[in-house]
Amino acid sequence: MTVNQRQMANAIRALAMDAIQAANSGHPGMPMGMADVATVLYSDFLKFDPADPKWPDRDRFVLSAGHGSMLAYATLHLTGYARPTMDNIRNFRQLHSPCAGHPENFELEGVEATTGPLGQGLAMAVGMAIAERHLNAVFGDDLVDHKTWVVAGDGCLMEGINHEAIGLAGHLGLGRLNVLWDDNRITIDGAVDLSSSEDIAARYAATGWHVVKCDGHDFDDIKRAMAEAVADPRPSLIACHTIIGYGAPNKQGSSKVHGSPLGDEEIAATRQQLGWDSAPFEVPDDILSAWRALGAKGASAKSEWQDRLSNSSKKTEFTRRTTGDVDSTAAMSAYKAQLAVDLPKAATRKSSEMALGPLTEAFPELLGGSADLTGSNNTKTSFTKPLNKDDYSGRYIYYGIREFGMAAAMNGMALHGGVVPFGGTFMIFSDYARPAIRLSALQGLRVVYVLTHDSIGQGEDGPTHQPVEQLQSLRMIPNLEVFRPCDAIEVAECWQLALERKDGPSVLALSRQDLAMVRTSVDSNLSAKGAYRIQTAGTARKVVLIATGSEVALATEVAAQLEAKGIGADVVSMPSMTRFLAQDAAYRNDVLPDDGTLRVSIEAGTTFGWSDITGSNGLHIGLDRFGASAPGKVLMDHFGFSADKITPQIIAKLG
């Protein structure tokens, strides 16, 4: 007997309701409502190969409505991915099951992105689509020719990041991006019209998108709409009018099926309604075979692609970029040697631009940008021409005033592979991007955030623009490497460390104001261990001054005053607090001896968290209040960041 698409879709519905019921937790409504749409997508449009989930030219599928994770787990299992197994699905939302409550890219191959925070999946898909178009422009259709598909719900389209993401996608003309909107008119609170009355289709059209509608339960109509989207040169929103919880006779179409298990009685009624008489977690052989046949289709497309790659003159470079290895030693050695000769006095934001010169020249996979602050963030070099809809080969994106959208798009680029994204904004606006920065860290993505104007030293813009708590709050994010370099040599070292780190994101916290060179040696990357002794006490050591960024030079001035009074003082530069704390005890004890020496932290930001470094008896020179509007030098002195004001505090502390 021939298996029809409705039966295949019902397999998704059955697995979703059974897994969620077993867990007594989850969201059955979306996977049951979008099962028909997913079946058409996998049957007729999606290019994938379960035997090789990381095949570079596969289509990307992002479940932006991550609460409906069982849609992803069901389709992955049914099409023949090695995982999730049926046992994994039986243990949905349980400890150690890869079938987490929301899809996690590090748990299952085939899950392209960690989703759940609504809107971010769609925004990451924009980044994937950018990476695809860029790599296509570089390597051609033979090696890069795929699409990005997204399933998004009303929540994804309501979140503010959606506005940023679709504006960028429309502006760049990302025609390979197709969003399947689960237009079921229901949110957790109830009907969408409780909270929203906007014309979503008009909003998308206004940003340069193609919009098409379909009946999300009519297979022919779904296929028609997807075909129109694929044919249109613009990014497409496919509004799939669906019934949430489709098939549950007493709960479908209501918020009751959004975020709660159906219950045994409703599941029994749903099985009868769907004509599904298999036991829980069982899929009839003929239906499973039909799904597996879909999974097998991708093998020939992948094989043909592998043949093209093998015969391509660009194979070596393509493989290098998709592998993602970056060894910047050769590219940076001459540059750093010249720094040791020139000893430039420059803001570290300018030093970053200087370092990016040889890096962007040597590594064409570096793709930069800025959230409308290019001239302030100094993220553009002569090697990074603009990327736009007329020339996707460019390597610099003008993101506009879209900090959150930029950060999420960079996550998508990193997930796609083949590019290493970096982007800039003021450090204070990292708060706008923070949810995406957190997802960079959670997903283990190599994304570099260039955050300039990193303290009250930025001056006249005043307390709204002067970060106080941001630096330490970023250090609190697990797996986020935060670097605050003190001069041009440390900037170069930190850029190298950020680019060579493949398993997580990095922040470069950079100054607006010029900083004198403190380092003169470039023999080794001293920043690699997070902190090091940059100046040794000239007399018997009684104090260790620990500083970051713009305050390292200040610490050397304090040390000079202390030494003049017969008080020996080491100066330690700590470009990365977390990296230092990860060193072995012997190294940490050498840099910060546990011999009763007074430890003094100096950083133009909150003192919160510095006791982890100084101990309970340390002295913290910082700023535990908001700033003010005045020239940077005036503010630094006003708030106590001068040798004349710090030295007496240390002497008083020593008693």
Amino acid at 505: P
490 flagged as catalytic: no
- Interhelix angle 285-310/315-323, rounded to 10 degrees, is 130
Q: Name the token pair of 568.
A: 């020996």
Instruction: State the catalytic residue, choosing from 403, 481, 493, 551.
Output: 403
Q: Name the token pair of 636.
A: 């630094």
- Using alpha carbons, select from 443, 401, 404, 395 the residue that is nearest to residue 422: 395
328-340 confidence digits (pLDDT tens): 999 999 999 999 9
Question: Phi first, then psi: what are they for 650, rounded to 5°?
Answer: -70, -45
CA 300, chain centre distance (Å): 33
Q: What is the mean pLDDT of the chain?
A: 97
Amino acid at 234: R
In b/e form, how buried is each residue of 448-457, taking b as 16+ CB within 10 angstroms? bbbbbbbbbb
pLDDT band at 1 (very low <50, low <70, confident <90, very high): low
On the 0-12 / 13-18 / 19+ scale of CB atoms within 10 A, 182 is buried
Q: CB under 8 Å to 548, separation ≥6 — which residues?
A: 484, 486, 573, 574, 575, 577, 603
Distances (CA, A) of 154 to 62, 229, 244, 448, 654: 15, 20, 12, 31, 61
Q: Is 33 within 8 Å of 243 (Cβ atoms)?
A: yes
CA distance 66 to 57: 24
Q: CB under 8 Å to 599, separation ≥6 — which residues?
A: 543, 544, 546, 592, 613, 614, 615, 618, 619
60-116 confidence digits (pLDDT tens): 999 999 999 999 999 999 999 999 999 999 999 999 999 999 999 999 999 999 999
Question: Phi first, then psi: what are they for 386, rounded to 5°?
Answer: -65, 145
DSSP letter for 468, please: S
573-583 confidence digits (pLDDT tens): 999 999 999 99
Kindly tell me if the per-residue pLDDT of 321 is higher than 70.
yes
Question: What does 448-459 look like in DSSP terms, one character per residue?
Answer: EEEEES-SGGG-
CA distance 381 to 312: 30
CA atoms within 13 A on the CB side of 655: 3
Q: Where are the alpha helices (DSSP H) in 565-642?
A: 577-581, 585-591, 611-614, 632-638
Pairing of strands 346-347, 514-515: antiparallel
Which percentage of the chain shows pLDDT scores above 90? 99
pLDDT of residue 470: 98
Question: Phi first, then psi: what are they for 542, rounded to 5°?
Answer: -125, -15
- Using alpha carbons, select from 268, 66, 234, 270 the residue that is nearest to residue 159: 66
Kindly tell me if the per-residue pLDDT of 643 is higher than 80.
yes
Distances (CA, A) of 134 to 365, 397, 417, 422, 485: 10, 11, 11, 15, 31
Sign of the alpha-carbon torsion through 242, 244, 248, 253: negative
DSSP letter for 211, please: E
- Using alpha carbons, select from 261, 118, 254 the residue that is nearest to residue 187: 254
552-567 confidence digits (pLDDT tens): 999 999 999 999 999 9
Q: Name the token pair of 331.
A: 């590219």
Kindly tell me if the per-residue pLDDT of 592 is higher than 80.
yes
Please give the helix or strand (H or E) that residue 423 lies within, else none: strand 420-426
CA distance 17 to 271: 10
Pairing of strands 514-515, 506-509: unpaired
Q: Would the pTM of this model clear 0.95, i.e. be above it?
A: yes
Torsion of CA 112, 117, 119, 124, to 10 degrees: -30
Stretch 175-183: mean pLDDT: 98
Question: Phi first, then psi: what are they for 237, rounded to 5°?
Answer: -105, 120
